[in-house]
Amino acid sequence: MTKSQPLVSIITVVFNGDKYLEQTIKSVLGQTYTNVEYIVIDGGSTDNSVSIIKKYTDQIAYWISEPDGGISAAFNKGIQRATGEIIGLINADDWYEIDTVEKVVAAMENYDVVYGNLALWRKEKQEVIFTGNHHYLTKEMTINHPTVFVRRQCYLQHGLFDLRYKYAMDYDFLLRLFVNGCSFTYIPSVLANMRWEGLSDRQWYKACKEVLEIKNKFFPDKTFNNKIHFAKQVAAIHIGKVLQNLHLSKLVHFYRNRLSRVKKIYN
Residue 68 sits in a domain of what CATH number? 3.90.550.10
Of the CA atoms within 13 Å of residue 54, those in its CB half-sphere come to: 5
pLDDT at 252: 47
CB atoms under 10 Å from CB of 167, counted, come to 17
- In tens, the pLDDT along 38-55 reads 999 999 999 999 999 999
Q: Which domain holds residue 181?
A: 8-198
Asked if the structure places residue 49 within a domain, the reply is: yes
Percent of the chain exceeding pLDDT 90 equals 77
Asked if the structure places residue 220 within a domain, the reply is: no
CA dihedral over 93, 81, 165, 128, signed as positive or negative: negative
Mean pLDDT of the chain, nearest integer: 90
Structural domain count, the chain: 1
Check: CB of residue 200 under 8 Å from CB of residue 166: no
Lowest mean pLDDT segment, chosen from 73-77, 84-88, 94-98, 236-240: 236-240
- 3-state SS class at 148: coil
Of 144, 51, 53, 46, the C-alpha closest to 100 is: 144
Q: What is the mean pLDDT of residues 71-86?
A: 98
Asked if the structure places residue 117 within a domain, the reply is: yes
Q: What is the mean pLDDT of residues 178-203?
A: 87
Q: Which residues of 58-90 are buried (b: 16+ CB within 10 A; e: fewer)?
A: eebbbbbbeebeebbbbbbbbbebbebbbbbbb
Lowest mean pLDDT segment, chosen from 19-23, 179-183, 246-250: 246-250
pLDDT at 120: 93
